[in-house]
Each structure stands twice: as C-alpha cells, then as structure tokens.
Amino acid sequence: MKARKIWYRGEQQDDSLMIGNHSDVELHATGKFEIAGLIYCPRYTLKISMSGTGKVTLRGACKRIIVERIKGDCILDIRELSSREFQCHAAQGTARIQVGKTKLISVANLYEQAELKYTGRPYISRNLAKGSGKIERHLQKIKKAA
C-alpha cells in the first residue's frame, strides 16, 4: 500500500489534522506553519519532514515515528503521541523535538543547536550530536487538560 502524503507549504495554520488507521503517512511542512492534530495508526509508520519556522503538535498512537529532516526554527511536540520506535535522521538549526512515550529511540542525529527531549526510559541505541546539539530526558510529567 502506498503511503499517504500530506503537504503544508507557505504560511499555514491547521488545528484539525486527523490521520486514521489506513496506511503509512508522510507529513511535510515547509515555510511558516502551526499544525496540530490527532493520529491513530498503531500498525503503521508516520514520517515527518519540516523546514522553516513553526510548530507541529500531534497526539495519539503510532507504531513508528521517523523524522526524516527537521531544519530551521521548528518545534515538533509529540509528547502525547505514543509509539514503539522513534527515529530522527537529521535535525538542524534550532530545531526542538519533544518525544513522549516510546520503547526505543533507534536513531538520533542532531546537528548545530538542535535538541531532543524525551520522557520515560526508552532504550537509546544510536545517537549523534554535533555542535551544541543535545539529547536529554525531560523530567516534567505531561499535564492533561481538565
């Protein structure tokens, strides 16, 4: 089955993104953006590619999350998105990634001033931080809205 591709280009704001249990999904955002939404695909992979300035906030469940590229002044907030595996192939610039409940962080390549913060105690297998990139455990618990 082919992966579904979702593109956001230019100046975009979307707080109603819904991704269901159909197949693998690729999410691409470039330019200036503010995206939030729900994902439920516990048997499939979510691939994310971001560049520019903006924030992507996702919640739900997914089997595997792959960040192919995140570049610029971007924030990827997936603290409320649970997964079995997380991979970050390239994070550059002042990109910040906040990862929630996951069992495995298999790849984490951070360059320049990129940051990866994670919660819980996942197994971390391969990581690379060049420049002042950093990988650290985020100790604050997620507060749920009342």
Q: Locate the domains of the chain by residue range.
A: 4-137
Kindly report the pTM of this predicted structure.
0.89
| β strands within 94-133, DSSP E | 96-99, 102-110, 115-118, 123-129
Q: 80-113 pLDDT, tens per residue?
A: 999 999 999 999 999 999 999 999 999 999 999 9
Q: Tell me, which fold does domain 4-137 have in CATH?
A: Pectate Lyase C-like (2.160.20)
pLDDT of residue 14 exceeding 70: yes
One-letter amino acid for residue 1 of the chain:
M
